[in-house]
Amino acid sequence: MNRIRTALTPLALAAGVLVALAAPATGGSQPSRHVTVRLVTHDSFAISKKVLRDFSRRTGIDVEVLPAGDAGAALNQVILTKDHPIGDVLFGVDNTFLTRALAEDIFLPVKPANVRGLAHVPADLRLDPSGRAYPIDHGAVCINDDKRYFARHHLESPRTLRDLARPKYRDLLVVENPATSSPGLAFLLATIDRFGEDGWRDYWARLRDNGVEVVNGWEEAYNGSFSAGEGNGDRPLVVSYASSPPAAVYFADPQPKTSPIGTVLDTCFDQIEFAGVLKGTEHVKEATALVEFMLSKEFQADVPLQMFVFPARADVGLPAVFTKFADVPAHPASMTPASIGRNRERWIDEWTDTVLR
């Protein structure tokens, strides 16, 4: 008897679980005038529950968020399923992937007149004149420095990309591999923009000789090697974001009066994230409404503290932790998506040959 009970317990548990998991789905299929729009995005997407709830209440559109891996994986999933789309809207294509998204023709053109917030977005973020991909947020990838380290060692923080190759900053920098990491790629693009097609490999050869450390991902760089990260590493310079200094304050308890890290403003590359309505959606009107909503003041104002990036709209105020602790580069490096799309693989291969072999 005992034996049978032991054998049945997991079955009963699983049956209960099946019922519990299935329950919300049944609830959703009940007749309702609400339409559900599926938002495919990367795993770092975040927004306030309240903001989305307000949108649903106002419009009758429910939003189901489908995180689908990192930005590259999410985009590629959408491309591979374009005949039977897995969602209605895609958010999270950045300027390094934009050309692929446009070439694969996954987005439905939407009249810019229908996306009213766009008028408030600076021109240099509006990279798709065809009205398919709409800029939602941007954030600069920059070198962050551990202020305490430089104070303790009576060393001036580097100011420029060139400084990083100088002997006094030997063995101080950790970067991410552009082949596996999106900030890694953005930083590589910053150096290519600065030193040009003829000079960037020499620059990286100098960085290599100056002891640059390369790791595969942002987590290992920031929480492993970076001396102001959580791993108590030995590198006071790291490729991260202009929003890392406010994040380091915001996500600390108690919050410090000044940020322990700073931003080297000359080293930045602006990453811009886009959203668009997916071709093949059955809910064009509702999907368009969601994209438009992403450029509304309410959504835009919520972006900084949720995703730690900057809103695309220039007329939206920033939270205090950003205005106080974030240094924003006036002229971050930039590059046309077409140029990135054309060269990215070759650049990554050449970088690998220069730095890792």
Partner 1 sequence: MNLARRPSWGRAVMLTVPLAFLGVFFVYPVLTILGRGLWPGGALDVSPLTEAVGDPGVRAIAWFTVWQALLSTLLTLVVGLPAAYALTRFRLRGASVIRALVVVPFVLPTVVVASAFLALGVGPSLGAMLLAHVFFNYAVVVRTVGGMWAHLDPRDEEAARMLGASRLRAFTSVTLPALRPAIAAAAAIVFLFTFTSFGVVLVLGGPTRSTLETEIYRQTAQLLDLRTAAALSIIQLVAVLALLVVTERLQGRRHVALRLRPARESARAPRTIGERAFIGVNLAIAVVLLGTPIAVLVARAFDTASGVGLDNFRALGTIHASSILFVPPDEAIWNSLSYAAVAAVLALTVGGLAAFAIVRTRRAGALDAALTLPLGVSAVTIGFGFLIALDEPPLDLRTEWMLVPIAQALVAIPFVVRITTPVLRSIDPRLREAAALLGASPRRVWREVDLPIVARALAVAGGFAFAIALGEFGATIFLARPDRPTLPVVIFRLLGQPGATSFGAAMAASTILLVLAAVSVLLVDRARVADVGTF
Enumerate residues 57-116 that contact partner 1 by CB under 8 A.
64-70, 72-74, 76-77, 79-81, 83-84, 86-87, 100
Structure tokens at 108: 């439905």
> Measured from the CB of residue 218, what is the shortest distance to partner 1 in angstroms?
7
Q: Is 353 in the site for partner 1 (CB under 8 A)?
A: no
d(CA 183, CA 192): 14
38 is a contact residue toward partner 1 (CB under 8 A): yes
Say which amino acid occupies 123.
A
Piece of the chain touching partner 1 by CB under 8 A; list 3-11, 130-138, 161-169, 333-341: 3-11
Which residues touch 338 (CB under 8 Å, ≥6 apart)? 99
Binding piece for partner 1, criterion CB under 8 A, among 150-158, 232-240, 268-276, 289-297: 232-240
Q: What's at 148, amino acid-wise?
A: R
Closest to 182 measured CA to CA, from 219, 209, 207:
219
Buried b (16+ CB within 10 A) or exposed e, 320-344: ebbeebbbbbeebbbbebeebbeeb
223 binds partner 1 (CB under 8 A): yes
Sign of the torsion formed by the C-alpha atoms of 93, 95, 100 and 104: positive
* Binding piece for partner 1, criterion CB under 8 A, among 146-154, 155-163, 225-233, 314-322: 225-233
Q: How far is the CB of 83 from partner 1 (least distance, A)?
A: 8
Token pair of 307 as six digits: 């995703």
**Tokens describing residue 200:** 């960037």
* Smallest distance from partner 1 to CB 156, Å: 24
DSSP code of residue 45: -
Binding to partner 1 in span 277-336, by CB under 8 A? 306, 308
Judged by CB under 8 A, does residue 339 bind partner 1? no
Place of tokens 């990260």: 229
Only segment of 48-56, 146-154, 281-289, 322-330 that touches partner 1 (CB under 8 A): 48-56
Stretch that binds partner 1, among 146-154, 215-223, 280-288, 292-300 (CB under 8 A): 215-223
Contact segment (CB under 8 A) with partner 1 among 196-204, 239-247, 263-271, 288-296 equals 239-247
State in angstroms the smallest separation of the CB of 243 from partner 1: 9
* Residues 195-214, interacting with partner 1 (CB under 8 A): 214
**Cβ distance to partner 1 smaller for residue 118 or 310:** 310
- The 3-state DSSP class for residue 321 equals helix
Residue among 70 and 193 whose Cβ is closer to partner 1? 70
Q: How many residues bind partner 1 (CB under 8 A)?
A: 75
Q: Which stretch binds partner 1 (CB under 8 A): 10-18, 188-196, 200-208, 310-318?
A: 10-18
Token code pair at residue 304: 């900084």
Q: Tell me the chain's radius of gyration from C-alpha atoms.
A: 23
Residue whose C-alpha is closest to residue 124's, from 353, 330, 348, 295: 330
From residue 34, alpha-carbon distances to 24, 61, 233 in Å are 15, 6, 51
Q: Burial letters for 292-316: b for 16+ Cβ neighbours within 10 Å, e otherwise? A: bbbbbeebbbbbbbebbbbbbbeeb
Residues 144-203, interacting with partner 1 (CB under 8 A): 177, 179-180
Q: Running DSSP on this structure, what letter comes out for residue 131?
A: S
Under the binding rule (CB under 8 A), the answer on residue 216 touching partner 1 is yes
- Name the helix (H) or strand (E) containing 293: helix 284-294
Of 145 and 220, CB closest to partner 1: 220
By the rule CB under 8 A, 46 interacts with partner 1:
yes
Is residue 258 part of the contact set for partner 1 (CB under 8 A)? no
Closest approach, Cβ 92 to partner 1, in A, equals: 12
Q: Which of 20, 113, 320, 330 binds partner 1 (CB under 8 A)?
A: 20
